[in-house]
Homo-oligomer: A and B are copies of this chain.
Amino acid sequence: MKPIILINFKTYESGAGHKALEIAKIADRIAKEKNVNIILAVQAADIRMIADVVSIPVYAQHVDPIEPGSHTGWTLAEDIKEAGAEGTLINHSEHRLEIFQIEKAIDIVKEEGMKTVACTPDAEVAEAISVFEPDIIAVEPPELIAGNVSVSQARPELITQAIEMVRKANKNIPVLVGAGVKTKEDVSKALELGASGVLLASGVMKSDDPEKEILELIEGLDV
């Protein structure tokens, strides 16, 4: 598998509506030109618009552990799938689920044929969550999210541990690392430590020049 750069648009101003579409197009173009693997996690209301235009994978940022039915205002897996989502984040630190809901959400999303990126704050939760066999596990220490120090610089041991613990429980789940990722060194260090890629948000979305920032990150892929 080629290393992944997963860009979480969150609900940043730059990550909503036509502004989101602009950044999505830039990422799409770079991914093709450089032949790299970029995934975009966008707001539910923007999935269809963005997925219609880009050819790289568009993911949702969240899905609720629900089947079709009476669930006003919640996010249904089969609806975001039809809108064009190829996968979804689950249990992001800004949108945590109960443990049983994580199991259920992963099951439902998989049945729809979509990919699941289960987020976790530390190595132990990564091991626990690996029992539910998400397609990818993303480790993001909450205290570093949106900060200026990247997890690969500040807590490299966390990445190594998380990968080891996931391996111990279940060999085949790739691990992304996130929190504070901004430079090519952050990316190359993460890969060097055994990660399959990075998950980032503010590094790109709050950048004055998202294109330049994405190009910078991609340089880190040449390990």
Contact = CB atoms under 8 A, between A and B. Distances in A.
A153 B35 CA distance: 57
Contacts of A60: 45, 73
A17 B128 contact: no
Contact of A72 (B94, B99, B128, B169): B94
Interface of A: 8, 10-13, 16-18, 41, 43-49, 60-62, 66, 68-76, 78-80, 82-83, 85, 89, 91-100, 102-103, 120-122, 124-125, 127-129, 131-132, 145-146, 165, 169, 201-202
A72 to B, nearest CB: 4
Contact of A82 (B17, B48, B103): B17
Contacts of A120: 99-100
A15 to B, nearest CB: 8
Of the candidates A17, A44, A73, A124, the one having the most CB atoms from chain B within 10 angstroms of its own CB is A73
Nearest to A102: B99
B11 A74 contact: yes
B102 A13 contact: no
A69 B17 contact: no
Nearest to A145: B70
A198 to B, nearest CB: 16
B103 A125 contact: yes
Given A10-B71, A45-B79, A68-B12, A98 B97 contact: yes
A73 B62 contact: yes
